Amino acid sequence: MDKNRRPLLAITMGDPGGVGPEICIKALGLEEIYAACRPLVVGDAGIIRNAMEFCGLGQELNAVEGPEQGLYRLGTVDVLDLKNLPLSRLLHKQVTADQGRASFEYVERAIRLALAKRVDGTVTGPINKAAMNAAGFHYAGHTEIYAEMTGSKHYAMMLVDRDFRVVHVSTHVSLRKACDAVRKERVLEVIELAHEAVGRLCGRPPRLAVAGLNPHCGEGGLFGSEDDDENAPAVLSAKAKGILVEGPLPADTVFSKMKGGQFDAVIVMYHDQGHIPMKLLGFQYNESTGQWSTLGGVNVTLGLPIVRTSVDHGTAFDKAGEGRANPQSMVEAIKMAAALSAG
């Protein structure tokens, strides 16, 4: 790709008190990132400079007021400096309303830039929901912010780790509410969103599976009727539209089938049903070092008019400000956003 045609991505640095600033600069220290895109960090220049210092990185910082002023070259980190949080109020490892407000405003600015087509896509660093709510922004997470600001009513979360993909019918709700959310219309909607998005990534019609909500997909009604009454009709409707989808299939085997190559993505019914297998594969904890040796996985929001990817982990307050955070998920999120933006 010609360097002038590399997608321009707005990358929010996340909660200042977490590992977001650190994983941003570590990711932007890689040549492969600049080969794929033009990365612009949206945040506070002072906090990014502070992260460079405690990480011992030799990058230069270029604070800008707009995307057009970025240099976008390896060795220089371009930062759209919102001047939201003075370094004197930075508190690593802590939940504060100041930091929650700043992290929300980074996201807000990135979305506005994308809607105005001043950037080609967005990538979000980890935020702390308690801090954001303490600042008066009452959202369950990034997805809900994006949906409201873009006016999107039909959207879903997809997690990706290489060829392993899960798309959620529901996410940040109680398990009791998640069961109530399993309705034919919603399941069909998510199948259609997955068909479009995974097809773009695969370059062909994707093979999808729908995981059952209940053990053994309800065992003919013995363990619940949702799979017979809601999931199965949704699958039949999707097939009638020409979508390659099977299910509902028992959730205790469907992920192994995808890992073995039978499916390109699995539609999951609730948060943990999709997050557990994804993080079992993508996250590896090393007891001898007390650290995560790998942190794979990318969060993609489907159904938006703009591209949004994210790291698949939280603020990791326990290691914030120490220079030991793993940037792997951020690297993968940037690459995914670049691929989706270029497509």
Task: Say whether pLDDT at 88 is over 50.
Answer: yes
292-316: pLDDT as tens digits: 556 668 999 999 999 999 998 899 9
Q: What is the CATH class of 3-152+306-342? A: alpha beta
191-240: pLDDT as tens digits: 999 999 999 889 999 999 999 999 999 998 899 999 999 999 999 999 99
pLDDT at residue number 292: 59
pLDDT at residue number 141: 87
Q: Does domain 156-278 have CATH number 3.40.718.10?
A: yes
31-56: pLDDT as tens digits: 999 999 999 999 999 999 999 999 99
pTM higher than 0.85: yes
- Among residues 101, 27, 104, 87, the alpha carbon closest in space to that of 321 is found at 87
Angle among Cα 172, 144, 213 to the nearest 5 degrees reads 35
Domain with CATH 3.40.718.10 in the chain: 3-152+306-342, 156-278
Contact in structure between 79 and 43 (CB atoms under 8 Å):
yes
Percent of the residues in the chain that have a pLDDT greater than 90, as a whole number: 84
User: What is the C-alpha end-to-end distance of the chain, expressed in Å?
Assistant: 12
189: confidence class by pLDDT, cuts 50, 70, 90: very high
| Burial tier of 176 (Cβ tally within 10 Å: 0-12, 13-18, 19+) | exposed
